[in-house]
Amino acid sequence: MRKFTVISLILVVAIALIGCSSGGGDIKLGLGVDTLIDQSADLAANDDGAMVGKVQVDTVIAAVAIDADGKVVSCNIDTAQTAVNFDEAGVITSDKAMNYPTKKEKGDDYGMIKASGIGREWYEQIEAVEEWMIGKTAAEITNMPLNDEGATTDVDLATKATMTLTGYQAAVLEAIENAR
């Protein structure tokens, strides 16, 4: 819940700044969420031979501001990624008191740069996606060019973001739909 509050506050400040700089047009705020558990793992033997499993919840949170024409004027996307391990008795073996920072909060510590192929960390890639969405309508975001894996095929954006974008796209579209 803290993450939603932080993102909402950031967007409220952004909207205030946009309103001041744009002459105070009709700006609407929307929040959207997309939750996945596809990185969870069934019980399996680890390197020590112990049976362990993992439940991972990835919650994409998007906050957007749209203008009177339905175009995105501000976009903030983050992901709360929470993974907990359990043993064969179903007992959680992870620290239940642990605070899980979002991907943006992790910054360079997230570690995507090694696998990105373009030398960009997660927060750098999502910033490029957010920038791409500025000025776009829901229809344009819906029709974002993606390959079968969900990565962009937009020539310019593909040089800045190589990750799967479908969850981010879904959260932003929900945020636009929820804009009030």
What is the pTM for the complete model shown?
0.83
Exposure on the CB side of residue 5, measured as CA atoms within 13 A:
2
Tens-place pLDDT, residues 6-36: 555 555 545 544 454 455 579 999 999 999 9
When divided into structural domains, the chain yields a total of 1
150-159 contacts at long range (C-beta below 8 A, 24 or more positions apart): 156/132, 157/128, 157/129, 157/132, 159/118
* Token duo for residue 174: 């929900």
Find the domain containing 73 and state its range: 2-178
Tens-place pLDDT, residues 107-152: 999 999 988 889 999 999 999 999 999 999 999 999 999 999 999 9
Residue 176 — pLDDT band, cuts 50, 70, 90? very high
CA distance 165 to 152: 7
Write the CA distances from 17 to 8, 23, 74, integer angstroms: 14, 10, 10
